Amino acid sequence: MKKQSLTKRWEDILYLSPGIVVLGLIFIIPLCYAIGITFVRWTLIRPELGIVFVGLQNYVNILKDPFTYEVLGRTMVFLICAVIIEMVLGMVIATVLNWGYRGHSLLQSICLIPFMMAPIVVGFTWRFLLNNTFGPIPRLLQSIGLESWVSLPLLANPHTVMLVLILVDVWQFTPFVVLVVLAGMKALPTEPFEAATVDGATSWQRFRHITLPLLRSSLLVALVMRTLTALRVFDTVSIMTGGGPGSSSEIISFYGYRLAFQSYEMGLAGTVGILTMLLALGLTVVYLRRVGVES
């Protein structure tokens, strides 16, 4: 009996082994590699200098550089503003779409369009929409008496560029939150709502005390996913601003890219990548503890 169970166990491991190998190839090995290069100085454009082990020097250099904190600050502003707006707006839109009036399916499909677009297309589209010569948005702002807002292009103004990037992110990714929350709403049991209605609860009370707590898991998924993806927003920043004007829109993903493919400092770029991963991990743990405990 024991022998049979042991054979079965080996058999299970063998069945799983292709999956484990694939996982190792596409996840664990690259991760180890990414961590490994943070301990070396490797200048891609000077391969003759070799790959030199420097211990924790890359971490020290990155953490000592005041620019890192500037970039981190900007990233956090972007992340917090974009994710909060997306969560609130996504919740509102999902609630409206869940009412089930005529044509709501069509509306749902239309709402999803921005999320289906490639970020690079979103970048070019918004760059055009915001162009002071050809774009409709500056003209609209001018026509309602807000000329001073667009005397300098919104993307070239250090005071407005982050706001624009946040709004573009909200435009593109709110549909994702809608999708997740709406799926959660559709799966809610009807009994608690019926009971609350019989007990005389108002719509707000039903929403506050039944819908929201029951949606906690869906909201957590949306929150974690959006936080992780907002941390690695790159395409729209690269297309729309290139990190400028100056460094007003340089966020952490773009900083990592610049170190890797403009300075070709692979060790430093890897370090920024690992720090970004740690930040994402930290935020996820906080979310799970704060929001996810009961669900």
Partner 1 sequence: MRKNKCIRGIFLVLIMLVFPVMVIIAGGAQEAVESDPLQLVSERGTHTEAWKTQMEAFESESGVDLEITQHPYANYFDQLMLSYTSGQNEYDVPYISLLWYPTLANAGYIQPLNDFVDADATLPEDMPGLQSASLDGDIYFIPYMNEVGGIVYRKDLFEDETEKKNFKAEYGYELTPPKTLEQYEDIAAFFHRPPELYGVTLMGKRSIFLATHFMNRLWAHGGNLLDDDFEPVFDSEIGVKSLEEVKDFFAYTNPAAYSYDFQEALTEFKMGKSAMAELWTTAMFHVDDPEGSQIVGKASFVGFPKPADAGDEKRPRLFISWGFAISDACERKEEALDWIAHATASDALAEAAPLGTIPARISAMNDADLIAELPWIPAFQEALDTCIPTPIVPLIPEGMSIVNGFVAPMVSEFISGNGSAEELLAGAAASTRELLEQNGYY
Contacts 24+ apart (CB under 8 A), 161-167: 161/241, 161/244, 161/245, 161/248, 161/249, 162/74, 162/77, 162/78, 162/248, 162/249, 164/126, 164/130, 164/240, 165/78, 165/233, 165/236, 165/237, 165/240, 165/241, 165/249, 166/78, 166/81, 166/82, 166/85
Does 262 bind partner 1 (CB under 8 A)? Our answer is yes
Does 131 bind partner 1 (CB under 8 A)? Our answer is yes
- Half-sphere exposure (Cβ direction) of 253: Cα atoms closer than 13 Å: 16
Does 258 bind partner 1 (CB under 8 A)? Our answer is yes
Toward partner 1, which CB reaches closer, 44 or 56?
Answer: 44
Toward partner 1, which CB reaches closer, 177 or 233?
Answer: 233
Fill in the amino acid letter for 275.
L
Toward partner 1, which CB reaches closer, 19 or 145?
Answer: 19
* Stretch of 9-17, 97-105, 106-114, 221-229 lying at the interface with partner 1 (CB under 8 A): 9-17
> At closest approach, how far in Å is the CB of 181 from partner 1?
35
Toward partner 1, which CB reaches closer, 192 or 245?
Answer: 245
**Distance separating alpha carbons of residues 194 and 215, to the nearest angstrom:** 17
Toward partner 1, which CB reaches closer, 225 or 235?
Answer: 235
Tokens (6 digits) for 254: 């773009």
* Cis amide leading into 245 (omega within 30): yes
Does 247 bind partner 1 (CB under 8 A)? Our answer is yes
> At closest approach, how far in Å is the CB of 40 from partner 1?
14
* Stretch of 29-37, 82-90, 147-155, 211-219 lying at the interface with partner 1 (CB under 8 A): 147-155
Residues numbered 185 to 204 that lie near partner 1 (CB under 8 A) are none
Toward partner 1, which CB reaches closer, 47 or 213?
Answer: 47
Binding mask 38-57 for partner 1 (x = CB under 8 A): -----xxxxxxx--------
Does 155 bind partner 1 (CB under 8 A)? Our answer is yes
Which of residues 236, 248, 253, 271 is near partner 1 by CB under 8 A? 248
Does 102 bind partner 1 (CB under 8 A)? Our answer is no
- φ/ψ of residue 43, rounded to 5: -100, 110
Q: Return the closest-CA partner of residue 174 out of 235, 122, 103.
A: 122
Does 284 bind partner 1 (CB under 8 A)? Our answer is no
Instruction: Look at the alpha carbons of 10, 15, 18, 22 in this order and tell me if their dihedral is positive or negative.
Output: negative
Give the pairing type, strands 52-53 and 40-41.
antiparallel
Query: How many residues contact partner 1, by CB under 8 A?
Result: 38
